[in-house]
């Protein structure tokens, strides 16, 4: 593990798109895969935002093995997962620890491995940390799982680790694990994928499985009695919403009780969703994208009665990772905006909301690197994980006044 000095901060000239449209028009990020019409204005290709902000990029740590999730510690520093199965503490100065002991055994194959990390709401007193991971289930099978353990005061090990959720049934396909975890008050939200294969993707519509679902549990893994399918025969009581493909972003909107998610679509059709109790989000019955073969998804349409529309979609895709609603002092004009990770073409996507509708989009680091997760540091800096074999933890701040993006 190498450490990168803070003095290596570089000012990036951050490209947006190859050619800027007139103010108020949307950015043109390429030809759409389908001609499916949006359901309402600004559901896709919202007008461009032009903040005039130039970002300064600083490498806090490098040499990370496909980092996947990050959590900011209240005492300073960060917890970062590496997909191969390692959890590390990275100090505020960028010094990376040896692997923290006590993490679960993972299936580090395909898209599987050690995935998200989050702190319990009461971490300051309980020291509870949540992890999600691809749990090996024998005979080549695996499942999305979530575990909770206590982080020692010296940051060297997890103790009392136990699973609070294991997806059912186990899958032979090491793909589409979903796997964001979001503690909120007495509850914890877990997102799952549907493992991608045509045979398995249909299980996103099957309430008896936890494929392609948003899961809502109590912090200890028990089922809240007010979940929508509690007591319904043949339905998993842990299910909150269903009909999802592969959710890799989840966040609560400041000042609201709303949970929002970012979901990978197929070829086109990545989605920003406002998650509603018991709602069906349509996969694989409908989609704003198409199969990688070029074949239509499900009915070939984008919507159907009884299915919940995404609040925004991308075609072509951004391949979303984690995201946050920005709160902090360093970007005062971005309060409440979505700051999202993009794996393909890569970079960071900023969205502005009015009510529940996206009214503007801006992009940074366009096509320059795969970003897997986003967090906000205590001082308001944007933290980004570069997903690569020699990945980095990056700190993004506004460039000094007088330096502007051309």
Burial of 221 (C-beta count, 10 Å sphere; 0-12/13-18/19+): middle
pTM confidence score: 0.93
With a cut of 50, which residues of the chain have pLDDT below it?
1-21, 402, 404-406
Query: Are 333 and 380 contacting, i.e. CB atoms less than 8 angstroms apart?
Result: no
Query: Are 306 and 355 contacting, i.e. CB atoms less than 8 angstroms apart?
Result: no
176 tagged catalytic: yes
Kindly name the residue from 176, 195, 244, 264 that is annotated as catalytic.
176
Nearest C-alpha neighbor of 194 from the set 260, 133, 234, 144: 144
* Token pair listed for 262: 């970012």
Query: Are 64 and 97 contacting, i.e. CB atoms less than 8 angstroms apart?
Result: no
How many C-beta neighbours within 10 Å does residue 74 have?
9
The CA distance from 343 to 217, in Å, is: 29
Q: pLDDT by residue (tens digit) across 333-368?
A: 999 999 999 999 999 999 999 999 999 999 999 999
DSSP state string for 296-337:
PPTTSSS--TT-PPPSEEESS---EEEEEE--SSSSGGGTT-
Q: Please state whether the peptide bond connecting residue 266 to the residue before it is cis, i.e. omega within 30 degrees of 0.
A: no
How many C-beta neighbours within 10 Å does residue 280 have?
18
Please give the CATH number for the structural domain made up of 2-398: 2.120.10.30
DSSP state string for 190-240:
EE-B--S-HHHHGGGG-TTS-TTEEEEEETTSPPPTTSTTTT-TTS-TTEE
Question: Residue 38: what pLDDT?
Answer: 98
Q: pLDDT by residue (tens digit) across 142-172?
A: 999 999 999 999 999 999 999 999 999 999 9
């Amino acid at each position: 593990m190498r450490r990168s000095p803070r003095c290596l901060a570089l000012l990036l000239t951050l490209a947006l798109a190859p050619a800027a449209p007139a103010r108020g028009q949307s950015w043109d990020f390429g030809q759409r895969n389908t001609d499916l019409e949006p359901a309402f204005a600004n559901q896709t290709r919202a007008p461009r935002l032009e903040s005039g902000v130039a970002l300064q990029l600083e490498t806090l740590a490098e040499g990370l093995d496909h980092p996947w999730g990050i959590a900011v510690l209240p005492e300073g520093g960060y917890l970062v997962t590496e997909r191969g199965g390692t959890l590390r503490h990275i100090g505020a100065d960028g010094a990376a620890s040896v692997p923290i002991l006590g993490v679960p055994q993972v299936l580090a194959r395909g898209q599987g491995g050690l995935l998200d990390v989050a702190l319990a709401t009461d971490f300051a007193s309980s020291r509870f940390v949540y992890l999600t991971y691809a749990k090996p289930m024998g005979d080549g099978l695996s499942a999305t799982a979530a575990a909770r353990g206590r982080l020692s005061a010296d940051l060297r090990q997890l103790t009392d680790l136990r699973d609070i959720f294991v997806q059912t049934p186990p899958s032979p396909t090491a793909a589409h694990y979903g796997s964001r975890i979001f503690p909120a008050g007495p509850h914890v939200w877990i997102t799952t994928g549907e493992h991608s294969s045509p045979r398995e993707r249909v299980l996103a519509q099957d309430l008896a499985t936890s494929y392609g679902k948003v899961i809502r549990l109590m912090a200890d893994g028990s089922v809240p009695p007010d979940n929508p399918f509690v007591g319904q025969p043949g339905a998993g009581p842990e299910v909150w919403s269903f009909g999802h493909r592969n959710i890799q972003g989840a966040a609560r909107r400041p000042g609201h009780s709303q949970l929002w998610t970012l979901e990978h679509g197929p070829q086109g059709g990545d989605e920003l969703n406002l998650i509603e109790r018991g709602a069906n989000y349509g996969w694989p019955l409908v989609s704003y994208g198409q199969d990688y073969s070029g074949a239509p998804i499900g009915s070939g349409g984008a919507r159907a009665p009884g299915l919940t529309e995404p609040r925004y979609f991308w075609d072509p895709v951004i391949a979303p990772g984690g995201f946050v609603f920005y709160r902090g002092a360093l970007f005062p004009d971005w309060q409440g905006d979505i700051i999202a990770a993009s794996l393909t073409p890569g970079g960071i996507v900023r969205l502005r909301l009015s009510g529940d509708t996206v009214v503007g989009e801006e992009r940074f680091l366009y096509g320059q690197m795969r970003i897997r997760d986003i967090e906000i540091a205590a001082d308001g800096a944007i933290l980004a994980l570069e997903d690569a074999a020699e990945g980095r933890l990056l700190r993004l701040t506004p460039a000094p006044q007088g330096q502007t993006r051309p």
